């Protein structure tokens, strides 16, 4: 990736703002590839993320605030995100019997099946995204990202 080429400038950009631009460009690129990989399943990255969280629960239901805590991008509107998954038949939602303020969300068999297919598609996306990376590069990158 060549920053200056993408934003079509010949000027030298100072290191600090350049890094922010660089991060943004990489973020956009990753998002594009990931959305492409999820497109056949008609779910957003956020929805995919929620499905993975639910699978991680191993049958144990999750409520909305738990989902929100565990989401990578915390958003205000988990209700409507779950609505979408519900309308696709990927999750079930019931009122929690012991505390009726809460809802209990579980992933369905159909959701699990779809998720397994998404995993395969995401594997391919990873291959594209990381084609120039060695394992040590990724470790070094994670080390540096921790400094933020």
Partner DNA sequence: TACATACATTTGTATATACAAATATTGTTT
Partner DNA sequence: AAACAATATTTGTATATACAAATGTATGTA
Query: Which residues of the chain form contacts with its own copies (CB under 8 A)?
Result: 1-2, 7-9, 11, 15-30, 34, 56, 69-73, 126, 129-130, 132-133, 135, 137-142, 144-148
Closest residue by Cα to residue 64 from 45, 85, 87: 85
Encoded tokens for 108: 């369905």
Encoded tokens for 2: 């060549």
> Is 85 a binder of DNA (CB under 7 A)?
no
Contacts of 3 (CB under 8 A, 6+ apart): 13, 18, 21, 22, 25
Residue count of the chain, please give it.
Answer: 148
DSSP string of 61-82?
-B-HHHHHHH-SS--S-HHHHH
Least CB distance to DNA at residue 82 (A): 6
> Is 57 a binder of DNA (CB under 7 A)?
no
101 versus 135: smaller Cβ distance to its own copies: 135
The 13-32 site mask, x for binding DNA (CB under 7 A), equals --------------------
Hey, is 101 helix, strand or coil?
Answer: coil
Figure out which of the listed residues 22, 49, 57, 63 binds DNA, where binding follows CB under 7 A.
63
Figure out which of the listed residues 52, 84, 88, 129 binds DNA, where binding follows CB under 7 A.
84
Q: Tell me which residues touch DNA (CB under 7 A).
A: 44, 46, 63-65, 68, 75-82, 84, 93, 99-103
């Amino acid at each position: 990736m060549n920053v200056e080429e993408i934003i079509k400038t010949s000027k030298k950009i100072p290191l600090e703002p350049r890094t922010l631009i660089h991060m943004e460009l990489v973020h956009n690129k990753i998002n594009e590839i990931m959305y492409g990989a999820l497109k056949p399943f008609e779910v957003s990255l956020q929805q995919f993320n929620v499905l993975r969280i639910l699978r991680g629960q191993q049958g144990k239901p999750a409520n909305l605030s738990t989902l929100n805590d565990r989401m990578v991008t915390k958003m205000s509107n988990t209700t409507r995100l779950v609505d979408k998954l519900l309308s696709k038949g990927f999750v079930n939602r019931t009122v929690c019997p012991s505390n009726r303020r809460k809802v209990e969300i579980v992933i369905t068999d159909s959701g699990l099946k779809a998720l397994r297919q998404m995993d395969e598609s995401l594997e391919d996306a990873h291959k594209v995204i990381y084609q120039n990376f060695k394992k040590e590069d990724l470790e070094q990158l994670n080390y540096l990202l921790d400094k933020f």
